Structures are given as C-alpha cells and as structure tokens.
Amino acid sequence: ETKTILVDEHVNNDESYAQAVDYIRGGEVVAFPTETVYGLGADAMNATAVDKIFAAKGRPTDNPLIVHVDSKETALEYVEDVPEKALQCMDAFWPGALTLILQAKPDTFASNVTAGLPTVGIRVPNHPVALNLLKRLKRPVAAPSANTSGKPSPTMAGHVYFDMDTKIPLILDGGPTQVGIESTVLDMTSAPPVILRPGQVTKEQLEEVIGTVRLSSETKGNTPKSPGMKYAHYAPAAPLYLIEHNSKLIEKAIDHIHGKKKKIAVLSREDFETADYCFPLAVDKLYDSLRKCDQTDADLILACVLPENEDAALMNRLEKAADHKWFS
C-alpha cells in the first residue's frame, strides 16, 4: 500500500517530486532521505497532518518534532530573538547535521510540532533530495526520524518501509544515508548553549565557532529534564549489553551465554566466529546492525566498545539502546 519511488540523479524525478509535494500540501505524510537518517515529513503548519506523524510512529505527543527548511533565510522567517551565536552556527554548519533550538515566532507552527513549547528545533538538511523537496514545497516540514517510536532510526528506504508500510502513502528512496545517526541538537536558548543530543557535528567543532558549549547531563545518562530524552530509544528486540572490547572477555561472555543455551549476536569491529551472529559496529552502520539483530533469533546482543575511544555520538546511541546496561 505504501509506494516507494527511487529518486537519484540518473532518472527524471520531476514527476516523483510533484507527487511528494501534492501529498504534503494535501495534508499527508511522506518519508524522505536526509544526510543523517530518513525523516517522516508533514506540513509543519497543518496540525492534522502533523497528527498523522505521531500516529504513524506511535510517538508520545509531548516529544516535539524537528522542522526542516531549505535555507537560513527561510529559517529566519519562523524564529525570533535569534542570538548572534545561532547565526554563526547557521553559517558554519548549514546545510548540515545540526538542529538549533530557537524561539519560535508565535502562531507559526502547528502547536503539536513543538509539543506546546515556545521553542522550535530547526535545521537545513544537507541532502539533495530533501533540499529539492523543500524548495518545491515552499513550506516548512516537520519531520522526526521515520521509525516506529523506540526503534532504531532508518538509514535506508527499506527500514522505513518495514516500519511504515500501509501507514503512509509514499517513501522517496535516495539510497542509504551518509551520516547514519541523527543530527546534533543544540539549545541556543540557554547560555552557554547546551548540546541536548550529540551527533556528527561535535562539541569541539561548535566551540571553534561559538566558544564554550555545555554537554547536557541528560546525554550522559542522568535523569532526563527535556522532552524526548525520557523515552526508550534505538532499542532492538533482544536485550542489548555493552561490553569492553577485549577479545578474551568477549569470548568468555559468549561461552557463558552459550552455556545457558542462549543465542548471541555481537556488534563489533572485529569478527567473533564463536558468536551466533556478528554485525558491524560503526556510526553509519549502527542502526542497520541493530535492525539486522531483530531479524535473527538471538536472545541477547553484545556491543563491544572502548568507551574512552568511541565517537561520542555513537557511544550516546549505544548507551541508550542498552539502557546503560553493561554485561557482567
């Protein structure tokens, strides 16, 4: 029932984009690729359309959505009291994997987009398909990741189809996404600005442009304060545990689990032949690997990490997927 259309530079896509534009203008939801993950998009000014996003995802309505626009100039039509540092971030990182939390102009977005907050998360995605769609549409698009709430975000059209078949009319397939995890979310309404969600744009890169930036204590596993942080995220079906990437330790864990007649999937940079299943661990492969675990009969998943050396955003997603459990 859900149609997937391939949109790449080798085919004439006018017709495909026209269909997507018609659906969104008509109050429907369309999935499209961004450079981070696939988004589930609707007209950000149409509350009924935005409701359909929450329904398709099964998303709690107190968790606000990110608004996507085609340029800094368009973004500035929808926000106010924009600090100088936010403008600097826009110039340095847009289009790109950085969402800025700013004061929304009152009565601009449908209130369910922002979950009733006075602020909005807004970004310009760096993907030709997303930008083309936004330019043709000439409207802001509210788009969370296109997964069922709680599940790993989709990095391929097939992931979206798996979660959204029969729930939305159209998926634009732009191939696998490059970055593979969601954008960095930076709250510009506090001083110094606070990273609410780490992503490809790092604390260090931000600090080079705007000076001191804080990392939200919520991203380090403390009690959540803001919307979205309190819910389970990226969770595969089987319980996931973190384990130090140490071959002896891992082989011992595999033996122990096999002793209990349980099957085990390992996420690692190295192949473990004694494991029942082994999938790659890397930022751009994480969600696909988690979804592949769901296709197996593994009773338990081990993610092999060296916490001090891991990419901060990858570690953040793994800790959430594991609900901070370490194998012992």
Angstrom distance (rounded) from CA 130 to CA 172 = 9
| Residue 179 beta carbon to ligand TXA: minimum distance, rounded to whole angstroms | 8
Interface with ligand TXA, residue 114, by CB under 6 A? yes
Q: Which residue is nearest to Mg ion (CB)?
A: 145
Minimum distance between the CB of residue 306 and ligand TXA, rounded to whole angstroms? 26
Q: Which of residues 141-180 bind Mg ion (CB under 5 A)?
A: 145
Distance in Å, CB of 252 to ligand TXA, minimum:
37
The residue within the footprint of ligand TXA, chosen from 49, 101, 157, 322 (CB under 6 A), is: 101
| CA distances for 221 relative to 163, 182, 250, angstroms | 27, 18, 24
Q: Does 121 bind ligand TXA (CB under 6 A)?
A: yes
Please report how close the Cβ of residue 234 comes to Mg ion at its closest, in angstroms.
8
Calculate the alpha carbon distances from 294 to 66, 239, 277 in Å: 27, 11, 11
Instruction: Give the C-alpha separation, 4 to 1, whole Å.
Output: 10
Task: Please spell the DSSP secondary structure of 29-71, one letter per residue.
Answer: -EEEE-SSSEEEEEETT-HHHHHHHHHHHT--TTSPPEEE-SS
Does residue 183 belong to the site contacting ligand TXA (CB under 6 A)? yes
Residue 131 binding target from ligand TXA, Mg ion, none, CB below 5 to 8 Å by type:
none
Q: What is the closest distance, in whole angstroms, from the C-beta atom of residue 328 to ligand TXA in the complex?
A: 30
17 known member of a binding site:
no
Contact track, ligand TXA, 237-276, x by CB under 6 A? ----------------------------------------
Q: What is the spatial distance between Cα 212 and Cα 191, in angstroms, rounded to a whole number?
A: 9
Distance CA(88)–CA(93), nearest Å, equals 9
Residues 6+ apart with CB under 8 A from 144: 39, 40, 53, 57, 59, 65, 66
Query: Using CB distances below 5 to 8 A depending on partner kind, what does residue 56 bind out of Mg ion, ligand TXA, none?
Result: none
User: Counting contacts by CB under 6 A, is residue 119 touching ligand TXA?
Assistant: yes
Per CB under 6 A, the list member of 13, 16, 46, 99 interacting with ligand TXA is 99
Radius of gyration of the chain (CA): 20
Q: Identify the H or E element spanning 231.
A: none
143 binds ligand TXA (CB under 6 A): yes
* 216 assigned binding-site residue: no
CA distance 258 to 222: 33
3-state secondary structure of 270: coil
Residue 57 in the binding site for ligand TXA (CB under 6 A): no
- The binding site for ligand TXA (CB under 6 A) comprises 34, 36-37, 39, 63-66, 99, 101, 114, 117, 119-121, 125, 143-145, 182-183, 185, 196-197, 226-228
Binding site: what residues are annotated?
Answer: 36, 59, 63, 68, 119, 123, 143, 145, 153, 183, 197, 234
- The binding site for Mg ion (CB under 5 A) comprises 145
